[in-house]
Amino acid sequence: MTLPQNRAAATPTGNSYDKYQVEHPIERRLMERFLRALDESLPARPPARVLEVGAGEGEISARVRARYPSASVLSVDLHDPDLAAEWRKRHVSGAFADVRRLPFPDDAFDLVLGIEVLEHVVDPAAALAEVRRVGREVVLSVPREPLWRAANLARRRYVADLGNTPGHVNHWSSRRFRAFVADQLDVTAERRPFPWTILSARRRTTD
């Protein structure tokens, strides 16, 4: 997500650091590992309808669309006119919405992605409930604490905030994030490309 920080308004927020376009060789290597793990986390069977929440500029949506060319892929993020231009640049369909109040009917999507989103969201449980409501399968990722902060400090970023990235209001270890997601979904796979946690999950059959 790329919107300016707005904690007082209790809305999902983000930061302007574009990790998908990094040039530093170590950071680029980490991102390559992250994207490879993300690809491995996606379902083998092509979904027909895909939603990415907190899609930012649409880098992941474009990547998913390339993997599943027959799928309908929709990017969603908070209102920001600049994002519409970014989506057009990447040939991504987009809409403005809050992940905690998605304007879609139940079971509208085969796959929902929340990549580097929930750490920004006030009331992440409400956001996860919405993701579960509209999607059958889910792929989620968050930074892995405290490794994320340590990595930031190692590259001398956000030192005054002890390595906490601006806009991060939730902090999970891999174990705690899995427990958080498992409270609402069945977790089917976990991957830990340093310094992230990526979970694949699906709605329970009893839901």
Is 1 inside a domain boundary? no
Q: How far apart are CA 66 and CA 82, in angstroms?
A: 23
Alpha carbons within 13 A on the beta-carbon side of 203 = 20
Q: How far apart are CA 29 and CA 7, in angstroms?
A: 32
* 8-50: pLDDT as tens digits: 344 455 544 456 665 677 888 999 999 999 999 999 999 999 9
Is 161 inside a domain boundary? yes
Backbone angles phi and psi of 60, in degrees to 5? -70, -40
What separation in angstroms does the CA of 176 have from each of 16, 129, 170, 173? 26, 17, 11, 5
Is 207 inside a domain boundary? no
pLDDT band at residue 195, thresholds of 50, 70 and 90?
A: very high
Q: How far apart are CA 96 and CA 75, in angstroms?
A: 8
Mean pLDDT taken over the chain = 88
Q: What pLDDT does 146 receive?
A: 82
121-135 b/e (C-beta count within 10 Å ≥ 16 → b): bbebeebbebbbbbb
What pTM, to 2 d.p., does this model score?
0.87
Domain holding 123, by residue range, is 7-202
Q: How far apart are CA 5 and CA 153, in angstroms?
A: 21
Q: In this structure, are residues 166 and 179 in contact, taking their beta carbons and an 8 Å threshold?
A: no
Q: How far apart are CA 119 and CA 128, in angstroms?
A: 12
Instruction: Write the single-letter amino acid at 173.
Output: S
What separation in angstroms does the CA of 157 have from each of 30, 42, 145, 207? 16, 31, 15, 42
Q: What pLDDT does 27 receive?
A: 82
* 85-133: pLDDT as tens digits: 999 999 999 999 999 999 999 999 999 999 999 999 999 999 999 999 9
Q: What pLDDT does 158 receive?
A: 84
The total domain count for the chain is 1
Is 2 inside a domain boundary? no
Is the omega angle on the peptide bond into residue 193 within 30 degrees of 0, that is, cis? no
Helix (H/G/I), strand (E/B), else coil: 138: strand
CATH of the domain at 62: 3.40.50.150
